[in-house]
Amino acid sequence: MPTEIKLLKGLKNILENEISSNFSDKSIKYGLEKALAVALKQFPLWNGFWTQKVLDLIKDYSKRTYEERAQAVVRIKDIIERAIEFYTDENFWEKSVQFAKGVGPHRAKLLNRLEIHTIYDLITYYPRDYDDRSKLKKISEIKPGERVTIKVKIIDYEETKTLYKKIPIIKAKISDNTGWAYAVWYGQKYIKQVLPPGTELLISGEAKRLLKHIEFENPEYETLDEGEDKEFLNVGRIVPIYSLTSGLTQKVLRKIIYDALTDYSIFLEDPLPKYLREKYNLMDKPVSVWEKHFPTSFLTMASASKRITFEELFFLQLNLAKKRREIEELSAPVFNIQSELVEKFLGSLPFKLTKAQEKVWEEIKKDLSSGRPMHRLLQGDVGSGKTVIAALATILAYDNGYQTAFMVPTEILAEQHYNRLKNIFEPLGIKIALLTSSTPKKEKTYIYLDLAEGKLPVVIGTHALIQEEVTFKKLGLVIIDEQHRFGVIQRAKLWKKGEAPHLLVMTATPIPRSLALVLYGELDISIIDELPPGRKPVITYLFSKKERRKVYSFVEKEIEKGKQAFVVCPLIEESEKLEAESAKKLYEELKKFFPRFNIGLIHGLVPREERTRIMEEFQKGEIQILVATTVIEVGVDIPNASIMVIENADRFGLAQLHQLRGRVGRGSEQSYCFLIADLKGENAKERLKVMVETNDGFVIANKDLEIRGPGEFFGTKQHGTLDVLFVDLTKDMKLFEIARNEAFEVIKNQNERIEEYEKVLLNKWLNKYLRGELKEIVL
């Protein structure tokens, strides 16, 4: 946009002249205010924010004092310079956060840990909470126990030390014109230097009564003497609370974000079209970003959240709608759904499909014969029988001359599925291979070759399937089990190995419709909403750690009756080694406790052959107790096992406990689940009680989502797009429906607006947002 840049450079000249003419307002004809007003009219409206800011600053310039003029011109020049950058630098928003005011290389590293890499990341790093410090009180009005903000003066200091560790205690006597109190800081000697007696300041904190006076412990403060128009960031307002990382304080981060907002927010373009903003009464983007960080009231903050959520939902859904349309325009293999092989398989099953399975199978057959690629999510609670459906689809693909790739998240599950499916497929003459990272190299080479030549109709495996070496001759069906463990990218990678193959993704995680549409909006959804007949609900007990012996005595009695048990110890994050150690410790302990039983141990570091052997022995009943880490969480199916003991159950999410519990209750025997937990922790008991009360995965998942939010629920550490979305979604399902409908409307109508959006979608930062925040989430 060269004309804009020329214009801006001209403005910069004018401002420089004004500075050298000592703010005389004579450097240009008709005065500076008029000149700027005319020039800025040239800029299109959607950039109204920075232009508006300039106009505000220049207002009544001719009537101002010298100091005011100087201040305004310097500030405007700053904005114009940044505007030049904005128009010249395509990657304006991608600029490293390091260049934001007050950041620099060291702090940039800290910010990176919070997933803040660019300036745009910084200004959209929204608070996780707020603290209302907007109400100023007098010391005489304070009631002990309340959180207040007071305006006081430092009188003097006492300095002592803590008894044991000799940490310095800095105790300041503070007063306003109604009384006095104490502010106490531990280990912060510098306070005496930064707040010498006589300093006036605002203090926010909880007022504690000690003897006869009020005392604040480590309160937040901000001094009054730092310039006239200073805005308080930490006290005397609704204060944002950010998620931090060590080395970064709330105070520092608030200042950094505040400065970045001042410098950059006026250049934010509004990606939401005007007609939508008007139709739904949505705040402008720059305002909403400010209000989200530094709200003027909780009401405006709520409007800001609404606006931000709407934007995210709209573009998420737009992206999904686009994907969906793209898929619908593809043509896929048309399967003949009359298959003797399928009938033969159904006849060989020792059971009849449940009604729900029948219904889902019909839906899938319809997709497979439609000529468009199936894109279906199959949801069904643990044990509802999804594998049979996958097998049916695989057999149909085979009968139609197509290959199937079946991807699962763990090696154990891959091995187990492989063994089960082999038993099913071999009698039908269907060859199947297992491909994981521990498949021997030579064997891998053969599998690659056979797949490429089309000699191998079915392959089941882990992420190893998406390696480049894996190619197919005629891939017609892709199945992904426990799909929440995979990213969108991984799913797509496997899918792209065929020419628009059919896709079936399966999950046992029952999620509310709203969230399902956010996450899987481009998929059709089928639900198996009934369990095979004759299943007895697992009876679940909750015990405190002190009662462990009781649990194991019960286990002993049950095993003596011929049953088998899993004992699970928790996943230790980021360390397979520590995890293995803790499993081993438990294993040794149980061996001592149950000298007469055979006990097996399985964790992520046990080599494949040994693992297979142990699983087989367990399957055959030669091992009575299997000590395991969460490697057995998904999919493992051993109907003989009827007892599940989960140690440190409080460390698991409910959905995960439900998965683990789903490993038992698969046979006709009554099954039991024992949760051993530290019940003292915050609402641990209440949370775990849900498990005792219900076996319904849907109820549990909802509760879990409610308690932990979807970020954690889906095991992602992203800084909470999902969380933000979800919180607002549960409150405002309607907003979501609107955003979704509007997005699908845009795509459906194919109107000229679509190009505009495409531009926005391609827009660097938004793409990054779509990429960065969605792809990384493990779905």
The least distance separating ligand ADP from the CB of residue 637, rounded to whole angstroms, comes to 5
**Cα torsion 590, 594, 596, 598: sign:** negative
User: Considering only residues 240, 380, 498, 501, which one is a binding residue for ligand ADP as defined by CB under 6 A?
Assistant: 380
Binding-site partner at residue 772 among ligand ADP, Mg ion, none, CB < 5 to 8 Å by type:
none
Interface segment toward ligand ADP; rule CB under 6 A; list 263-271, 321-329, 380-388, 743-751: 380-388
> Shortest gap between Cβ of 665 and ligand ADP (angstroms)?
10
Contacts (CB under 6 A) with ligand ADP, residues 330-369: 351, 353-354, 357
The site string for ligand ADP over 384-413 (x = CB under 6 A, - otherwise) reads: xxxxx-------------------------
Dist CA 400 CA 394 (whole Å): 10
In DSSP notation, 610-647 reads: HHHHHHHHHHHTS-SEEEE-GGGSSS---TTEEEEEET
Query: CA 481, CA 635: separation in Å to the nearest integer?
Result: 9
Which does residue 606 bind out of Mg ion, ligand ADP, none, counting CB within 5 to 8 angstroms by kind? none
Based on its alpha-carbon atoms, the radius of gyration of the chain, rounded to whole angstroms, reads 32
CB atoms within 10 A of CB 571: 19
What is d(CA 262, CA 484) in angstroms, rounded to the nearest whole number? 40
Residue 479 binding result from ligand ADP, Mg ion, none, given CB thresholds of 5 to 8 Å by partner type: none
Nearer residue to Mg ion within complex by CB, 508 or 518: 508
Enclosing H/E stretch for 310: helix 298-329
Question: Could you say which of ligand ADP, Mg ion, none residue 353 binds, taking C-beta under 5 to 8 angstroms by partner kind?
Answer: ligand ADP
> Residue from 292, 375, 376, 666 that binds ligand ADP (CB under 6 A)?
666
Residues 371, 339 contacting (CB under 8 angstroms): no
Site size for ligand ADP, by CB under 6 A?
17
Tell me the DSSP string of 248-259: --HHHHHHHHHH
φ, ψ dihedrals at 504, nearest 5°? -125, 115
Q: Which residue number, 409 or 635, has a Cβ lying nearer to Mg ion?
A: 635
Q: Which of residues 477-536 bind ligand ADP (CB under 6 A)?
A: 508, 532
Contact 378, 362 (CB under 8 A): no
Query: Residue 711 binds what, of ligand ADP, Mg ion, none (CB under 5 to 8 Å, by partner type)?
Result: none
Q: Among the candidate windows 305-313, 426-434, 629-637, 736-744, which touches Mg ion by CB under 5 A?
A: 629-637
Please identify, using beta-carbon distances, which residue of 168 and 532 lies nearer to ligand ADP: 532
Provide the minimum distance between the beta carbon of 585 and ligand ADP in the complex, in angstroms, as a whole number.
Answer: 30
Burial of 416 by CB count in 10 Å (0-12 exposed, 13-18 middle, 19+ buried)?
A: buried
CB 601 → Mg ion: shortest distance, Å?
24
Which of 127, 600, 635, 720 binds Mg ion (CB under 5 A)? It is 635
Confirm or reject binding of residue 563 to ligand ADP (CB under 6 A): no
How far is the C-alpha of 246 from the C-alpha of 259, rounded, in Å?
A: 21
Distance CA 511, CA 306 (A): 22
Smallest separation, CB 508 to Mg ion (Å): 7
Closest to 198 in 3D by CA, of 143, 156, 232, 151? 156
Token digits of residue 425: 């497929």
Which listed range, 317-325, 509-517, 632-640, 675-683, lies at the site for Mg ion (CB under 5 A)? 632-640
Q: Burial code of 305-331, b = ≥16 C-beta within 10 A, e = fewer?
A: bbbbbbbbbbbbbbbbbbbbeebeeee
Distance CA 687, CA 753 (A): 48
- Residue closest to Mg ion (Cβ): 635
Structure tokens given for 453: 């030549």
Which option in Mg ion, ligand ADP, none does residue 629 bind, with CB closer than 5 to 8 A by kind? none
Nearer CB in complex with ligand ADP: 70/699: 699
Q: Which stretch binds ligand ADP (CB under 6 A): 258-266, 366-374, 378-386, 744-752?
A: 378-386
Shortest reach from residue 390's CB to ligand ADP, in Å: 8
Q: Which of residues 616-645 bind ligand ADP (CB under 6 A)?
A: 637, 639
Q: Smallest distance from the beta carbon of 490 to Mg ion, in angstroms?
A: 18
Name the residues that contact ligand ADP, by CB under 6 A: 351, 353-354, 357, 380, 382-388, 508, 532, 637, 639, 666
